[in-house]
Amino acid sequence: MTISPDELLIDEREILELTQKLIRIPSENQPGNEKAVGEFIASWLKDKGLPIELQEVEKDRFNVISSIKRSGPALLLCGHMDTVPVPNPDEWTYDPFAGEIKDGYLFGRGSLDMKGSLACMLTAFVALKEVEEELSQDVVFLATVDEEVATKGAKKAMESSDIKRVKHGIIAEPTDLNPVIVQKGHCWLKIKTRGVAAHGALPERGVNAILKMYPILSRIQELDFGKGGHPLVSETTVNIGLIQGGVKINMVPDSCETSLDFRFPPGVASDSILGKLTTLLEELKAEDKELDAKVEIIKCSDPVEVQRDAPIVNLLLKAMDKVLGSHDERKLLGVPYYTDASALRGIPIVLLGPGEPGYAHQKDERIKISSMLPAAKIYATVPLL
């Protein structure tokens, strides 16, 4: 690499202004109205002389794809354009769609997750265009829709010819500039119990589907769904997130449904979680002949893991040394949540972004300004190594 990170045309003021512009275009998901922010990014890239592809995902929702060079194996720089909604704007200290700056932080919905880091990536990407001849690999930029709900954008992106030539990538999720190499898998399941309706004044004539759900849920809490033993992520967890049952207070409910959110580490399979639940239901049915219960899959996705010695991990660590100064033992992390990396399956992807992840999805969401310029320089340094 003949160019040092400080020689790249990356400017903090430009990153901040771009972040503010992105925050001022709401793109809450749900409903998933990323259209205006996608149009803004596309025209911003076009103004800088970069080619753009708008890849339709569904009506009025499209990914923005751009690339430098367009031929060989490429590094992917990826971020999502949607944000979680703002359910109670009145509870915010600052207007969630203004992008105000105070005490070293930039505030707003999406400031951290992830319009701030998208701005870092966009700025890095444009700076790389200026030093195109120095690139050791092609660079593809991808801004997706729908990361916060069903990762439809990333799934669709797999069909793009530019994404097909990607050999590894970085997703700009907020990680406080720590490389994340493991993401837990998730398995969303539904348990249904059926009963027999009766008048609420005569409960003995019915079979109460809510009461039949009760022992299932308490036994689930006691079960071990697999430890996996991965050093960077915890064992399998379960959240009982939704329960619905009954029609009226004076009727015995004849149906009840519970939705469960399992998060599991490498070494545990979604099939084994499903198998343990099925066995549990069989055991309970043997104890209670009235029990009518079944389990259904809503959706499951395996954990995502990049090996510590993968080229993308080495490149990122080297880039971090160049930008942040060398460090003997930089932390590699794992996270319990899923990202677009789950949908970009088969591509070794590391998560790395500016800002403290604890502020994501919160009121008064904010990004630490001092972490943004280093993030942009790291993104730009990787394909120059």
Residues that bind Zn ion (CB under 5 A): 113-114, 173
**By C-beta, is 37 or 189 nearer to Zn ion?**
37
**By C-beta, is 75 or 114 nearer to Zn ion?**
114
C-alpha dihedral over 324, 385, 168, 46, to 10 degrees? 90
Q: Report the sign of the C-alpha dihedral through residues 228, 229, 231, 236, in that order.
A: positive
Min dist. Cβ of residue 173 to Zn ion (A) = 5
In this structure, the number of other CB atoms found within 10 A of the CB of residue 182 comes to: 21
The residue number with the shortest CB distance to Zn ion is 113
Min dist. Cβ of residue 147 to Zn ion (A) = 6
> In degrees rounded to 5, what are phi and psi of residue 23?
-65, -35
**By C-beta, is 50 or 86 nearer to Zn ion?**
86
Secondary structure of residue 69 in the 3-state scheme: coil
Residue 137's identity, in one-letter code, is: Q
Q: Rounded CA gap, 268 and 173, in Å?
A: 25
Q: Rounded CA gap, 13 and 2, in Å?
A: 25
**By C-beta, is 112 or 187 nearer to Zn ion?**
112
In this structure, the number of other CB atoms found within 10 A of the CB of residue 244 comes to: 12
Residue 206's identity, in one-letter code, is: G
Q: Rounded CA gap, 168 and 228, in Å?
A: 25
CA angle 242, 243, 245 (to 5 degrees): 150
Min dist. Cβ of residue 222 to Zn ion (A) = 33
Min dist. Cβ of residue 360 to Zn ion (A) = 7
**By C-beta, is 117 or 193 nearer to Zn ion?**
117
Tokens 């803004």, residue?
Answer: 40
Min dist. Cβ of residue 361 to Zn ion (A) = 9
Min dist. Cβ of residue 107 to Zn ion (A) = 17
**By C-beta, is 50 or 78 nearer to Zn ion?**
78
End-to-end CA, the chain: 5
> In degrees rounded to 5, what are phi and psi of residue 129?
-60, -35
Do the beta carbons of residue 147 and residue 153 sit within 8 Å?
yes
Q: Rounded CA gap, 255 and 374, in Å?
A: 54
**By C-beta, is 178 or 272 nearer to Zn ion?**
178
**By C-beta, is 123 or 183 nearer to Zn ion?**
183
